[in-house]
Amino acid sequence: MSGSRGMGKRAKTDQIDAELIARFMAFRPEAGRTLPDAKLQLLRALTVRRAQMVEARKRLSAQISARRKQGVSAELEEMDSSLKAFLESQISELEQRIEGVIAQGKELSAKAELLRSIPGIGPVSVAMLLAEMPELGRMTATEAAAMTGLAPMAHDSGAMRGKRVISGGRISLRHVLFQAGLAAACHNPVLKAVARRMKERGKPHKLVIVAIARRLVTIANAVLKTGLPWHISSAA
């Protein structure tokens, strides 16, 4: 992934690339100088492995469904059940280890507590934000949205010219935040109202959830920046 895509921008010129690098270093001055500490490295490795196991379970479920439709599920039923049980046990074990790593790190634990105060952000979202976006809390709202690929970017060429779509950013984190957006649209008292108003204006479901996910990550950035738990005015 290029630097411009990671920041949620598309660019071909050296001037814009230089601007992106300068902005990145401004809110993450330690980038390129030191490696993440051991706990953060371990947390990142565990969240990556969990995502792999979840994807494997998803593919297996799709295969099981396809075989059942074809009427050939009986011969492989026992093997499918064993493999699915194994994947679920691995996911559960990884989630426990992730929680343990967060609990053992003073800074990680403090950040996790703040993030958990935001309705819609659950344990998986917390772990992914901590692992994949350690700079959260030290950037602007726009930068936070761009880093996750949730900021709409305008296409300036081709068939998509003039249209605004989300792209770039950290894809695995964006997928998790999309799920968090679904939860927030139902359970966060402020964002639920935002989602309802967007639906009343005829906005497509996916666009609504992306907007809610984008608002969630900007709220998370603000909460970590202030060091104060979420409250209703945080989402204003």
- 37 in a domain, yes or no? no
Token pair listed for 143: 């930068």
Say what the pLDDT of residue 144 is: 86
Instruction: For residues 168-188, give the mean pLDDT.
Output: 85
Domain that holds residue 149: 107-236
pLDDT at residue 7 in the model: 46
pTM of this structure: 0.74
Half-sphere exposure of 221 (CA within 13 A, CB side): 21
Let me know if residue 69 belongs to a domain: no
- Which band of pLDDT confidence, cut at 50, 70 and 90, is reported for residue 158? low
- Residue 188 placed within a domain: yes
Total of domains in the chain = 1
pLDDT digits (tens, 9 = 90+) for 88-115: 999 999 999 999 999 999 999 999 999 9
CA neighbor of 111 nearest in space, from 137, 139, 148, 132 = 137
Task: Let me know if residue 100 belongs to a domain.
Answer: no
84 within some domain: no
Q: What is the dihedral of CA 19, 111, 192, 176, to 10 degrees?
A: 70
The residues near 206 (Cβ < 8 Å, ≥ 6 apart) are none
